[in-house]
Amino acid sequence: LCSAAERCVSYEEFKDLKKSNIVHIDVRERWEIDRFGKIPESINIPLSELAEALQMSPADFEEQYRQKMPAKSDHMVFSCLAGVRSKQALGFAMALGFS
């Protein structure tokens, strides 16, 4: 789970973060969600869609993902199966101006 510039968090840290106001984006593919399960309160945006999704209008984002679009100032955590894609997702988000 990656949440800040080159920072990964443990499961225990993640549980504590979930108690605060964070946006959790799971960048696994939809078939992985179907096979391994959805993490409660997460938004599933496959990594291949992430850069485009983070540039959508808020209305289009909400229509596509059934969630409110994160603001650039929101605290975000990205997750995947092994950590590689979540680090890539973090890089995409930061390049688009998300803090």
Catalytic residue among 25, 45, 80, 93: 80
- The conformation of residue 4, written as its DSSP 8-state character, comes to E
Q: How many Cβ atoms are within 10 Å of 25's Cβ, its own excluded?
A: 25
End-to-end CA gap in the chain: 16
CB-based contact 27:84 (threshold 8 Å): no
8 is catalytic: no
Task: Catalogue the active-site residues.
Answer: 80
